[in-house]
Amino acid sequence: MNRKDFITNTSLAGISALCIPDFLIRNEIVFGHQNKKYRINKRWSQADISRYPVNDCHEMVQDSMGRIILLTNETRNNVLIYDKNGKLLKTWGTEYPGAHGLTLFHENGEDVLFICDNNRHQVIKTTLDGKVLMVIDYPKETGEYKSADEFIPTETAIAPNGDIYVADGYGKDFVIQYDAKGKYIRHFGGKGDAEKNVLNAHGVCIDGRDKNNPFLLVTSRLQNAFKRFSLTGDYLSTIPMPGAWVCRPVIRGNYLYAAVLQSQSRQWQQSGFVTILDENNKVISNLAGSEPAYDANNTLNEMYQTIRAFQYPHDVCIDDEENLYVAQWNSGKVYPYKFEPVHA
């Protein structure tokens, strides 16, 4: 079943799905493993669903003022801005029906946003208040696209020099590189069977944990993997994530975080969880998922959901206090959940 059919054929949950599931409220569940354990904050968010509805909660980022910014494809308010306690501060945006990817970049002393819109087949750069600064249309310069509808961008990553990497995750699976002004540089990846190819290039980020050797991490979701590329598009290696339909990779400190849309063993059965990798790209914790285990050959065992806390997690945001926020796709129009660290 493809994504479009699944959305069409799945009925939305009732009003009870707008809040945290009852069993999570009643029980003090500790999520995760090793040094990455969390409890859910049962009071976040404080928005009024009748006035500030959400549809798919696709992605979240934190700006330099400490605010949490949520992107949804609900055109009554595409962008919701919260404080860390869950108080809704402001909303904006009515023109992004396919709002999917949200990336924040600090440019010349100001925060800017990059929005990927599936329906508009565009990447839109805006201010934090929604003023449009630049629009990137379908990449006809590549010679790979005949029309705009073949380009369905899902994510961007911005290099320190301002270069823009766009993942065409629901289109042809290329990563297209532009300079800071939107001029095409190159493209790489794409569908295929070679190691350099990707299948469902859903996310992309700059991995700068080694400051002397930054590189790109690209999601290959249907292969249950992340793939490493140089900033010039050369394939480097694969990080297997067996059993996990990983969404975009998110780097915070020495760790890599990712929402897992669903478990490979239970597809389209609301079987998602959240995974965390250490500086060596070893999985150390799964929130609502199986405890990570490696065999004698250092191969990761297949992962899967163990607690039905999530339906279809789509993104994770880690704030400056190490709190973790999870946004969900096609999950009954539920607001994001906040998880707070459990310290030993």
Q: What is the pLDDT of residue 3?
A: 52
Q: Say yes or no to pLDDT of 97 above 60.
A: yes
When pLDDT is cut at 50, 70 and 90, the band that residue 6 belongs to is: very low
- Binning pLDDT at 50, 70 and 90, where does residue 26 land? confident
pLDDT of residue 18: 53
Is the predicted pLDDT of residue 7 greater than 70, yes or no? Answer: no
**What is the rounded average pLDDT for all residues in the chain?**
94
pLDDT at 96: 98
Encode pLDDT of 218-239 as tens digits. 999 999 999 999 999 999 999 9
Burial zone of 307 (CB within 10 Å; 0-12 exposed, 13-18 middle, 19+ buried): middle
Domains of the chain, by residue range, sit at 3-341
The pLDDT of residue 12 is above 70: no
Closest CA to 24 of 49, 45, 43, 46: 43
The span from the CA of 96 to the CA of 114, in Å, is: 12
Residue 119 has a CB neighbour count (10 Å cut-off) of: 13
Could you tell me the pTM of the whole model?
0.94
Q: Which of 19-23, 26-30, 132-136, 208-212 has the lowest mean pLDDT?
A: 19-23
Span of 14-28, 55-69, 305-319 with lowest mean pLDDT: 14-28
- Place domain 3-341 in its CATH homologous superfamily: TolB, C-terminal domain (2.120.10.30)
